[in-house]
Amino acid sequence: MTSSPGGFRRRSTRTRRSVLAVSLGLAAALTLSACGGTASGDSGSSAAGGTGTIKWAWQLPTTWDPVTSSAGSDVQMLALTYSSLTHLDNNANAIPNIAESWEYNDKGTEVTFKLQDGLEFSDGTPLDATAVKSSLERGRDAENSLVAPQLADLKDVKVVDDLTFTLVLAGPNYQYPNLLAGKTGMIVNPAVVESDVESLATKPAGSGPFVLDSYTQNASAKLTRNPSYFKADEIEVGNFELYPAADAATVVASIQSGQYNVGLLPGSQVEAAEAAGLEVQVIPSLYVATLDVHSGKEPFTDPKVVEALHFAVDRQQLVDAGQFGIGEVNYQPFPPGHVGYNAELEDVYAYDPEKAKQILKDAGYTDPIPVTISTANPEGVPELLQAQLEAVGFRAEIETIPVAQFTQQVYINHEKALAVDGFAGRESPVQAFQVLFSETGLMNPSREQNPDVFAALDKVIKTPTDDPSYPALLQEATKLAVTTMPNTFLYTVPRVIARAPGVSEVPDGLALVEWNGVTVK
């Protein structure tokens, strides 16, 4: 994938002013931002070359099996124990990882990958082309696979030799190197799949930087450094502990007390963290805060009501008041600097309450329109949204859904008309479109699809990502989706990370929080 000039905005450390220019997502506040870390790390080591312990309070995965994972954010935790074939750089380009190179045929219907030599799963089993074939075919074919839609056009995986394999596709598709940088490209040990596939839910079988030693669902995961990881020399801690998010009000205290030593920070706690002497980093991400709209449910069955909603939302107020000044207004699924970001959309739904009122009046609405705002956290942004909608002609109420039930009710059962959430982004922009806008997309509650959007996307799929025409084609698809689909995007969501003084800087990573080179004193 190419990137627009300048790439993503990068900031590693921050002052109060610097963080005001970037955003922290409202859905992330539920599962991402309320995190903490230890004031000092353990001095012990569990594997040669690694000392100290990272204690990260963020979230635990829905499963340790990348094929059945049901949350986009799971990729962060799964990357601790699995390696993907490719990786994304900080401009969202696919770069080598356990696959050191790849090459398409002239038609774009086959792509041949070559693996790094000497790869092993954490149990010592060779990670070769045959293992890759097994893993990708399981992702495509398993009845309970949630990555199958991304592999639907994969006709065959041909093993050329131990280090070389070719993906045979149903038609041209130049997105595979990007696609394989995430869960879809995480290679699972076929020996474990054959012997005890059910165990993968709680016992990952990968080749990543760490090995899971113990796991208590909804409580903690404890891992140790994997000496057979292909970049093991870059992992400088011996232990890694993973916990659910701490309460926002206790994040700073949790880090000071030594309960955790790295955490994602809500905007409300940034000043407190700095006052406490913690290090604070801001790292751009693919995350964008959203309102998910079910156009099959009242009142959004009327496109005019959807249009009014777009103009009724004062996104800047959500950032300034709801997110404590941390945020950047955004009307589309990609952050500024991403190849799919369309500059023509920068003010497409600029706040205009009078226009929203007029749209509803012209559509014949004389009485307030009842609408329920579903959320897992009613404070802050949902409360501001309630007031904004009521100001233009809605009668809005807030419904709180427990975090554990939110995905099921909103995206699986399609029960809710309007939900406050966020889109975690995807390694392939085409995959992002499928998740958000396709008739099978998880984050498309109404499952309605605009054929024009996917006709434009078909051109994107068939165009090499280094072709000069690729950015314009992708940006045109973005424009079509944003202006015809009901999704309401709000603002971008970087990661605001607090570190105890003894923890070194966390590398910038657009798609993943990575731990290569991080040390703990």
Dihedral, CA of residue 377, residue 379, residue 385 and residue 390, to nearest 10? 120
Q: Can you say whether residue 406 is alpha, beta or left, with left for phi > 0 and alpha for psi between -120 and 50 degrees?
A: alpha
- The size of the chain, in residues, is 521
pLDDT at 283: 87
pLDDT at 444: 92
In 10 A of CB 150, how many CB atoms? 26
Q: Is the pLDDT of residue 30 over 50?
A: no
Q: Is the pLDDT of residue 392 over 60?
A: yes
Q: Is the pLDDT of residue 510 over 80?
A: yes
The confidence band for 4, taking pLDDT boundaries of 50, 70 and 90, is: very low
pLDDT at 384: 97
The confidence band for 72, taking pLDDT boundaries of 50, 70 and 90, is: confident
Tokens 């406490």 sit at which residue?
276
Average pLDDT over residues 472-478: 98
pLDDT at 40: 39
Token pair of 337 as six digits: 């600097």
Q: Is the pLDDT of residue 26 over 80?
A: no
**Which domains are present in the chain?**
16-65+202-284 (3.40.190), 85-191 (3.90.76.10), 286-494 (3.10.105.10)
Q: Which distant-in-sequence residues (6+ apart) come within 8 Å of 94 by Cβ? A: 1, 86, 87, 88, 177, 178, 180, 181, 427, 465
pLDDT at 10: 38
The confidence band for 92, taking pLDDT boundaries of 50, 70 and 90, is: confident
Q: Is the pLDDT of residue 498 over 60?
A: yes
On average, the pLDDT of the chain sits at 89
Cis omega (within 30 of 0) for bond into 299: yes
Q: What is the pLDDT of residues 287-336, one digit of tens each?
A: 999 999 999 999 999 999 999 999 999 999 999 998 888 879 999 999 99
With contact defined as beta carbons under 8 Å apart, do 224 and 238 qualify?
yes
**Cα separation, 122 vs 106, whole angstroms:** 37
Average pLDDT over residues 117-138: 98
The confidence band for 42, taking pLDDT boundaries of 50, 70 and 90, is: very low
Phi, then psi, of 440 in degrees rounded to 5: -110, 5
The confidence band for 48, taking pLDDT boundaries of 50, 70 and 90, is: low
Higher pLDDT, 17 or 68: 68
Tokens 């959320």 sit at which residue?
375
pLDDT at 7: 46
Strands (DSSP E) along 377-519, which ranges? 394-400, 418-423, 488-499
Q: Is the pLDDT of residue 370 over 60?
A: yes
pLDDT at 306: 98
Q: Exposed, middle or buried by CB within 10 Å (0-12, 13-18, 19+), for 70?
A: middle
The confidence band for 3, taking pLDDT boundaries of 50, 70 and 90, is: very low
Q: Which residues pair with 423 in a beta bridge?
A: 288
The candidate with the shortest Cα–Cα distance to 335, out of 287, 291, 292, is 287
Most confident of 161-170, 244-253, 417-426, 490-499: 161-170
pLDDT at 327: 79
With contact defined as beta carbons under 8 Å apart, do 176 and 111 qualify?
yes
In 10 A of CB 464, how many CB atoms? 13
